[in-house]
């Protein structure tokens, strides 16, 4: 990839699914130099590895792999002390081939353009894998939402929408929550956009509060999708989930909900970590009780009956299932040799680097790639958008039934491509997604 894009790379943050004050930076150490891992570079490598197995015009590949539009804005925001502070923010629309651009907005101190471009690309491939009519986008704001008051967060959100309002809209680009943002931020987004249009436009954003046009089941959709994908993988590998052990890295929305749903299937979680630390119990941790403890104390630490361990131990735990549900670049060529699970279910986006992927493949780890594994969130975002457009709302059972259907068929579509091409699930997922995007690009033709 060009040097320009690697110049501004985001180095790897520490574990933990939610934004907190502490975030250590991780880099790959080489002999005399320290090279940060480019997340967008990782997506390019994944794309190239899949494209190499396909017979597609290279010019067409060049067209679909790079982001269509990257916008950078510097936002002045009035702070509670009466002063103003500048915040740098991004919106990247990677693809609008299959439908409006779709993807969340991340609020995190380590956000970079490199990261947002990577996340936007993954959204394109993710939407294509689950076959929903969206392209891919992502937004990011460099900030620590934990340090902002509700008023400051609201003004920052409104200014973000205001500065880029022309990009957004239910037929253009539809944001959603990501790390550090949630339903309240989406409500402010919807209100600001609607004020500009002079009428309510619920379909301009997904992941909204239920009373504002949100969908039942959206909040737990990503975790539910991780559970479904893991269950299908276990079936394929003939692993009995009622006898299985697991570890989860990150205990935010995705980590805690996937752990709870897998726990309900009988999986015994022996390791859990969040940004504050990690805990272990060989007998298995009571996940519903741990969720209540974290709601109260904001930490997995101090939970009765568990032992505190080093956060790194979670990734190296001797378990059947590992769910990295924090941030990118957690399993790298430095530590992939120590990963001992049978199934690695990517709850986070980009937790495994391409170099680590090769090591995991050699060691027989079955990786369920992010663009399949965590696609439940955007799938229910699609359902929310559909419900907003028809103005009629489905029951939670209906949403969950449709999500099941989408995730199961996506899992088997990917598995079939992987088996047919004697490759990994990641490359299979990319091959499937690239083929679907290329198909519409060919039908539409290139306007030039």
Cα separation, 217 vs 212, in Å, equals 14
Q: Which is nearer to ligand GLU, 381 or 423 (CB)?
A: 381
Strands (E) in 115-231, as ranges, are 136-142, 173-174
Choose, by CB under 6 A, the member of 43, 116, 130, 176 that binds ligand GLU: 176
Pairing of strands 245-249, 136-142: unpaired
- Select from 79-87, 101-109, 337-345, 423-431 the region that touches ligand GLU (CB under 6 A): 101-109
Q: Which is nearer to ligand GLU, 104 or 255 (CB)?
A: 104
- Select from 26-34, 325-333, 337-345, 373-381 the region that touches ligand GLU (CB under 6 A): 373-381
CB-hemisphere CA count at 13 Å for 29?
A: 4
Site residues for ligand GLU, 187-216, by CB under 6 A, read: 206
Cα separation, 210 vs 380, in Å, equals 13
Report CA-CA distances (Å) from 245 to 224, 263, 374, 401: 18, 10, 20, 27
The answer to the question of residue 11 lying near ligand GLU (CB under 6 A) is: no
Cα separation, 324 vs 370, in Å, equals 10
The answer to the question of residue 349 lying near ligand GLU (CB under 6 A) is: yes
**Shortest Cβ distance from residue 182 to ligand GLU (Å)?**
11
Question: What is the 3-state secondary structure of 329-366?
Answer: CCECCCCHHHCCCCEEECCCCCCECHHHHHHHHHCCCE
Q: Which helix (H) or strand (E) holds 91?
A: strand 84-95
- Select from 229-237, 326-334, 374-382, 428-436 the region that touches ligand GLU (CB under 6 A): 374-382
Sign of the Cα torsion 145, 378, 211, 227 reads: negative
The answer to the question of residue 16 lying near ligand GLU (CB under 6 A) is: no
Structure-block tokens of residue 320: 């059947």
**Longest CA pairwise span in the chain (Å):** 65
**Shortest Cβ distance from residue 329 to ligand GLU (Å)?**
16
Q: Which of 214, 220, 261 is nearest to 241 (CA)?
A: 261
- Select from 295-303, 314-322, 371-379, 411-419 the region that touches ligand GLU (CB under 6 A): 371-379
Choose, by CB under 6 A, the member of 377, 399, 424, 431 that binds ligand GLU: 377
Distant-in-sequence, close-in-space partners of 65: CB < 8 Å, separation ≥ 6: 44, 47, 51, 121
Cα separation, 196 vs 415, in Å, equals 45
**Shortest Cβ distance from residue 260 to ligand GLU (Å)?**
19
The answer to the question of residue 178 lying near ligand GLU (CB under 6 A) is: yes
Sign of the Cα torsion 416, 422, 428, 430 reads: negative
**Shortest Cβ distance from residue 37 to ligand GLU (Å)?**
19
Report CA-CA distances (Å) from 231 to 227, 254, 261, 351, 434: 6, 16, 10, 20, 26
Helix, strand, coil share (%) of the chain residues, nearest 5: 45, 15, 35
The answer to the question of residue 102 lying near ligand GLU (CB under 6 A) is: yes
**Shortest Cβ distance from residue 39 to ligand GLU (Å)?**
13
Q: How many other C-beta atoms lie within 10 A of the C-beta of residue 199?
A: 6
Strands (E) in 144-301, as ranges, are 173-174, 245-249, 268-274, 277-280
Question: Does the active-site annotation cover 138?
Answer: yes
Which residue in the list 65, 126, 138, 208 is annotated as catalytic? Answer: 138
Choose, by CB under 6 A, the member of 306, 356, 378, 437 that binds ligand GLU: 378
Choose, by CB under 6 A, the member of 100, 104, 139, 351 that binds ligand GLU: 104
**Shortest Cβ distance from residue 226 to ligand GLU (Å)?**
11
The answer to the question of residue 121 lying near ligand GLU (CB under 6 A) is: no
Sign of the Cα torsion 299, 304, 307, 313 reads: negative
Number of residues that bind ligand GLU (CB under 6 A): 11
The answer to the question of residue 17 lying near ligand GLU (CB under 6 A) is: no
**Shortest Cβ distance from residue 104 to ligand GLU (Å)?**
3
Q: Which is nearer to ligand GLU, 178 or 274 (CB)?
A: 178
The answer to the question of residue 381 lying near ligand GLU (CB under 6 A) is: yes
The answer to the question of residue 255 lying near ligand GLU (CB under 6 A) is: no
Choose, by CB under 6 A, the member of 103, 223, 250, 350 that binds ligand GLU: 103
The answer to the question of residue 230 lying near ligand GLU (CB under 6 A) is: no
**Shortest Cβ distance from residue 212 to ligand GLU (Å)?**
16
Nearest residue to ligand GLU by CB is 104
**Shortest Cβ distance from residue 175 to ligand GLU (Å)?**
7
- Select from 19-27, 39-47, 82-90, 376-384 the region that touches ligand GLU (CB under 6 A): 376-384
Please list the active-site residues.
Answer: 138
Which residues contribute to the site for ligand GLU (CB under 6 A)?
102-104, 176, 178, 206, 349, 374, 377-378, 381
């Amino acid at each position: 990839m060009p040097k320009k894009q690697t110049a501004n790379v985001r180095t790897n943050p520490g574990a933990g699914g939610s934004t907190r004050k502490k975030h250590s930076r991780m880099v790959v150490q080489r002999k005399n130099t320290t090279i940060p891992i480019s997340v967008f570079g990782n997506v390019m490598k994944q794309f190239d590895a899949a494209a190499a197995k396909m017979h597609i015009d290279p010019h067409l590949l060049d067209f679909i792999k790079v982001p269509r539009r990257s916008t950078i804005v510097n936002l002045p925001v009035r702070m509670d002390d009466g002063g103003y502070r500048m915040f740098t923010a991004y919106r990247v629309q990677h693809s609008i081939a299959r439908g409006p651009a779709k993807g969340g907005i991340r609020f995190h101190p380590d956000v970079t353009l490199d990261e947002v471009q990577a996340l936007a690309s993954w959204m394109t491939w993710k939407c294509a894998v689950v076959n929903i009519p969206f392209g891919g986008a992502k937004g990011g704001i460099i900030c620590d939402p934990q340090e902002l008051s509700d008023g400051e967060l609201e003004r920052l959100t409104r200014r973000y929408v205001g500065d880029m309002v022309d990009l957004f809209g239910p037929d253009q680009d539809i944001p959603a929550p990501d790390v550090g943002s949630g339903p309240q931020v989406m409500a402010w987004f919807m209100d600001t956009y609607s004020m500009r249009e002079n009428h309510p436009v619920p379909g301009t954003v997904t992941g909204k509060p239920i009373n504002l046009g949100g969908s039942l089941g959206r909040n737990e959709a990503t975790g539910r999708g991780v559970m479904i994908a893991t269950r299908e993988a276990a079936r394929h590998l003939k692993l009995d989930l009622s006898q299985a052990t697991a570890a989860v890295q990150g205990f935010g929305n995705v980590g805690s909900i996937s752990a709870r749903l897998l726990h309900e299937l009988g999986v015994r979680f022996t390791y859990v970590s969040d940004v504050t630390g990690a805990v272990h119990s060989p007998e298995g941790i009571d996940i519903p009780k741990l969720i209540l403890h974290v709601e109260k104390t904001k930490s997995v630490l101090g939970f009765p009956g568990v032992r505190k361990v080093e956060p790194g131990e979670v990734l190296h735990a001797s378990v059947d299932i590992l769910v990295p549900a924090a941030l990118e670049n957690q399993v790298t060529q430095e530590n992939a040799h120590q990963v001992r699970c049978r199934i690695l279910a990517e709850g986070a986006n980009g937790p495994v680097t391409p170099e680590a992927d090769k090591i995991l493949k050699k060691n027989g780890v079955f990786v369920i790639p992010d663009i399949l594994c965590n696609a439940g969130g955007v799938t229910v975002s699609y359902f929310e958008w559909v419900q907003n457009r028809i103005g009629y709302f489905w029951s939670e059972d209906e949403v969950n039934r449709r999500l099941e259907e989408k995730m199961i068929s996506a899992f088997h579509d990917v598995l079939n491509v992987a088996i047919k091409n004697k490759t990994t699930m990641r490359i299979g997922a990319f091959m499937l997604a690239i083929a679907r995007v290329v198909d519409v690009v060919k039908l539409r033709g290139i306007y030039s």
